Structure 1
């Protein structure tokens, strides 16, 4: 008799989440269609504080870091349809080759489960929605170096960024360095309505889409209002990662209220990111 899980009977997706981030589980579960469950493992950053280096083999360095390797092992043992690394900076610093290389190494550690990266999922989502000139929105804990590498990563993918802005937490946070914002749990001060307001005000007229970077930036509830008001696709890291995980699992499930990305046919964007 074929095994049919009672939990996640339609699809089960796994996510690897950095230790202090509370957002991915919340947004994945909120956007998940009926019958889809989300299972998380946490990890400490494999990158040294203040460094953008992962050595000569970034994909292996990240995949073989103790927490991530353990998480891949544990998640891989419970029969998931896909696992996503919610750590876009690994891709930004590792370059375009990081996504496929990490997925290959990580899949072996996850006992053959398919693995993707959130940044690769964003790329696939932008391609699937026809966005070529996205306006990027970054978290306030992204420093200039991360922002620079993020733009380089997407330019290397053939995109022409219309600009990048950091979400503004307000005057009380302006005297803090980006890493201090993260350490002070600034991610828990982000509001989807305020993100909507800032993007609505700042998005340039020549942008043909919006891309919200960072799995820790609460944005899911702003997707549909921004698409309605700006008239362009809106892609966020968690939305794209869930969408891509479902496609890897062959699930043609819609997630109503979270943007036109989920309205695409199953055949769109199923190639490896």
Structure 2
């Protein structure tokens, strides 16, 4: 018999039914991490989709709470995971990171759990950043929930901007150039030390390096922070080039 796929790290990923992007961006990231950790089969990601309404409202986000445990149970039944990641920033904040963890563990007792809120807080803590510009695709009611929540967890948000897009399918189509321009406008402010781009449907990976070079500040996104945190929780800590300062040695 051959070793199991993911012999270094087996990661479960709960993906929104309406999400176009997180699996795509994680594919490149996790392949690079696997090569750095011992070969292509050393890290494995297994995903399950959670039903959701693509219209991003506080009500539709909260509705996912009742489905998290059942979705976690779909991930390789009977197999053990090192970590399970829930891939929705705004819902994780609305439901609460501790509640998300408990719901996942109801299906997978004792597993390490992350989501983009805890991941972003850990990422900026690792980077030594406490004042962050935040860019989102959301409508005002969701933005306010996110900003209030991060500030309650000790992360200051002096600047915030949004594309005000109500539908997750459209959020995935914001161009990297538009993200670059908006990120520059927000994080160019000397009052902030870094930039966080929220939403797992956002395609920031192509411009993270360009943004960091232009700003001289660290930049990360829901997908990159979530991937970094999942890898670290699973014990995979190799440095990776091309994915932002978060993955570089400190």
Secondary structure of 2:74 counterpart: helix
Task: Tell me which residue corresponds to 1:138.
Answer: 136
State the distance in 2 between where 1:219 and 1:45 align.
Answer: 23
Task: Tell me which residue corresponds to 2:245.
Answer: 260
Bigger drift between 9-18 and 240-249 goes to: 9-18
State the distance in 2 between where 1:218 and 1:160 align.
Answer: 24
State the distance in 1 between where 2:24 and 2:55 align.
Answer: 27
Number of residue pairs the alignment of both structures matches: 239
Secondary structure of 1:245 counterpart: helix
Q: Does 2:187 align with 1:217?
A: no
Q: Does 2:48 align with 1:41?
A: yes
Q: Is the 8 A contact 1:208 1:232 kept in 2?
A: yes
Q: Does 2:214 align with 1:235?
A: no
Give, in angstroms, the shift of residue 76 of structure 1: 5.8
TM-score of the aligned structures, taking structure 2 as reference length: 0.85
Give, in angstroms, the shift of residue 254 of structure 1: 2.4
Task: Tell me which residue corresponds to 1:9.
Answer: 7
Give, in angstroms, the shift of residue 260 of structure 1: 1.4
RMSD between aligned residues: 2.6
Give, in angstroms, the shift of residue 9 of structure 1: 3.4
Q: Is the 8 A contact 1:76 1:111 kept in 2?
A: no
Give, in angstroms, the shift of residue 129 of structure 1: 0.8
Q: Give the 5 Å matches for 1:1-273.
A: 4-5=3-4, 7-32=5-30, 33-34=33-34, 35-45=42-52, 50-52=57-59, 62-63=64-65, 65-66=66-67, 68-75=68-75, 77=77, 78-94=79-95, 98-139=96-137, 142-167=138-163, 178-179=165-166, 181-182=167-168, 185-203=169-187, 204-264=189-249
State the distance in 1 between where 2:191 and 2:58 align.
Answer: 34
